[in-house]
Structure 1
C-alpha cells in the first residue's frame, strides 16, 4: 500500500513534536453493521471540552472530519469558529457508508474505504473534499482513512485530489478479522512514500509493541492472546516483555501514555500523535466514556500527558502541516 517508503530520521537534539488528531465523526455503534441513517452529530455541541484544554497548552488540533460532520451546520459551526481563530486545522476522514455516492453493499468490509473499487473510493473522497471546502472555506490536504482503511488505490486517489499528508497508519492494529488492514509490522516513525514528484508524508498514529522482546514482540503477543483466559498478555506486560499501547485517552492510562512515549523517544522517535474520536467527549457514545466519572478521567488524561510532554520531556506543539514543513527541511 505504501510504496517507496523513506523513513524520516530527525536529529536527536530536536525537541519532540506533538500533534493532536481527532477523528471527527457521527455517533454510531462501532460493533454493528454499517447504517447510512446514523448521522447524528450531537456530541459536537460539547467539543469545546477538549478544545479548551488544547487552548491552554497552545495546541492546534487537526480535526479530520467526515461527511456527516462537514455537511451539517450543527457540527460545522464550532469547528469553523476554532478555525477562524487559528486554533485548529481541518482534514478529511472518509466513512464510506455515510458519504455519497452510496452505491456499495453496506458490509463490515466496505467500512474500510480502501476496500472499495478505485473509482468509488475516489468519487466519495472527491465529494468529501469539496463538501469540506464549501463548509470551511479551504480545501483539505490532510487525510485519515475511516477505520484506518488505507487500500491499494488510495495513494493514487490522494495524489489526484491534492492530499499530501496521510494519518492512516495505526501500529499495532490488526483488523483483518472483518476485512481491515494489518499494521502490526509498522511502527511510529514518520515516512515519505509514493513517487518523488507526488510524495506523501505519513504521520502514523503513535502506538506499538513496547518491551524488551523487540523483534519477537508480534509473535509473542499473538501467542499470549491465545491464552487470554490465563491473563498471559498482562503477565508479559508486567514482565516488561511486550505491551501493546497507543497514545490515546481511549482505553489507555496516563501511565501507559508516558511508558509508550519514553520507549519511543529512547529509540529516536521525535514525532508523537495524541488521538481520539470526537463522540467520546459525551458519555454514552463510545465504549470508552460511558458516564461522568469516565469523562472526567478521559479529560484529565489530556492534562496529565501534556504536562509530562511539555514540562518533563521538553516537547513542542505542532500540526500535521507544520510537521510537513519541518520534515522538508531535513529531506
Structure 2
C-alpha cells in the first residue's frame, strides 16, 4: 500500500532571520558535491546499494576545478565514509588546502536500521527523533574519525529535513545547512515542502545557530517575475510548463549540470547575479563523474557534456566577477573560527 503521508512544510523565514554576507564578501559561488553511493535511480531506495566505484573518477574531476582555483565541498554519506578507498581519495583531494568535507545523511543506508525501508522513511526528518539522532551521530562520528575534524556543513539526502533537524545540527556544532531546495516541494513523495523558501540565506535553529544556504533555484524567461507562484499555477495545467519553457516564457532552473540545459543555466546565472544574489549554490551527485551511474551521465558523450557545462558556467562566473567560496570563507562569514584537523584515520 502506498504511503501518502506528507512531510514537513518549512515555514518562510522572517525578515529578522535574514543573514547578510559581510561587506567584503562580494558575490560568490559554492560547489557542493552530494558524495554518495551508486544506486538505480528508477527503483525504490535499497539498503543493499552501497557501491562506490564512481569515486575512482573523482580525482580527475577535482583536478578540473582545482586548476581554476575552485574549492569543492564533499557532503559524504555512510557508504562513502566507511569505504577506505573513497576516504583515501578524499584525503588526497583535501591536499588542495581549500576543499572540505561535510555531511549528507541517506537514512536507508545509514545505521541503525530500526525503521521500515519505505518512501516515507527515506526522508530522515520523517523518522522518530531518537532514530534521527542515532543515525546522525553514527555518521557524524565516522566523518570526524576519518578526516580528523568535525564536519560543519550538512545536507539531508533527498533534502529530507524535519522540524527537529536544525536543533540536532546545532547541538553537534554545525554552522551551515544546505538541505532546502528553494521553491521546490516534495510533499507528493512524502517529503518536505520548500515552496516558501527563496534563495537568500537565513538563520535558523535554536538561537539562529545555523545559517541556511538554500540550493539555488532561478526562474528565467519573459514571465520570470511571476516566480514560484506563477510556475506552480502553470504546473496545474497538463503540459503547460513544457510549453512555457519552449516559448521562452518561464522555466525553473537549479544550478546543476544534471538535467539542466546549459543555455538555461547560463541565463539563470546572469539573472541571479543581476538580481544581486550574494551566494550562488551549485551542486551535483558524485556518481555523475563517471558514465553509467546516474541518469544524467549515461555514457562518454554525456560525461563530455557534463564537463562542457561546468567549463561554460565557470567561464561566465569569472567574466561576471563572481568568485568561488570554500568552507573557510563560509565559516568566516558566519563568525565561526576555522576548523582544524585533530587526527586522521581511515575508519
TM over 0.5: yes
The answer to whether the Cα contact below 8 Å between 1:114 and 1:153 also exists between their aligned partners in 2 is: yes
Unaligned 5+ runs, structure 2: 1-9, 337-347
Indicate the structure with greater helix content: 1
Answer yes or no: is the 8 Å Cα contact 1:172–1:209 preserved in 2.
no
Verify: 1:306 aligned to 2:293, yes or no: no
Please tell me whether the aligned partners of residues 55 and 87 of structure 1 are also in contact (alpha carbons under 8 angstroms): no
Residue correspondence of structure 1 range 217-236 to structure 2 within 5 A: 217-229=227-239, 232-236=240-244
Picking from 174, 189, 196, the partner of 1:178 is: 189
Distance 2:149 2:327 in 1: 16
Asked if residue 202 in structure 1 is aligned to residue 212 in structure 2, the reply is yes
Q: Superposition pairs for residues 1-331 of structure 1, below 5 Å? A: 1=10, 6-10=17-21, 15-196=26-207, 199-211=209-221, 213=223, 216-229=226-239, 232-310=240-318, 312-328=319-335
Secondary structure of 1:100's counterpart equals: coil
Aligned residues of 1:23 and 1:64 also touching (Cα < 8 A)? yes
Report the RMSD for the aligned CA atoms in angstroms. 2.2
In the TM superposition, what whole-angstrom CA distance separates every residue of 1:145-199 from its partner, at most 9, and x where no partner exists?
A: 0111111110111112111210111123221121111123211111112333x51
Normalised by the size of structure 1, how large is the TM-score? 0.91
Q: Is the 8 A contact 1:67 1:98 kept in 2?
A: yes
Indicate conservation of the 8 Å contact 1:27/1:40, yes or no.
Answer: yes
| CA distance in structure 1 between the aligned counterparts of 2:167 and 2:21, rounded to whole angstroms | 27
Q: CA deviation at 1:66?
A: 0.1
* 1:108–1:295 CA distance, 2 compared to 1 (3 A): same
8 Å CA contact 1:21–1:61 kept in 2: the answer is yes
TM-score, reference length from structure 2: 0.87
Structure 1 residues 68-77 or 316-325, which shifts more? 316-325
In structure 1, how many angstroms separate the alpha carbons of the residues matched to 2:131 and 2:219? 35
Residue by residue, what CA displacement relative to the aligned partner does 1:218-242 show, whole Å, maximum 9, x if unpaired? 343234334444xx22332355442
Q: Which runs of 5+ in 1 are unaligned?
A: none
Q: Quote the Cα distance in structure 2 between the aligned partners of 1:10 and 1:158.
A: 21
Q: Which SS does the other structure have where 1:120 is aligned?
A: helix
Q: Distance in 2 between matches of 1:114 and 1:99?
A: 14
Q: 1:83 to 1:248 in 2, by over 3 A?
A: same
Q: Quick one: structure 1 residues 12 and 238, their matched pair in 2 at CA, closer, same or farther if it must change by over 3 Å?
A: farther
C-alpha distance in structure 2 between counterparts of 1:195 and 1:72, whole Å: 34
CA pair 12-239 structure 1, distance change in 2 beyond 3 A: farther
Deviation at 1:31, TM superposition (A): 3.3
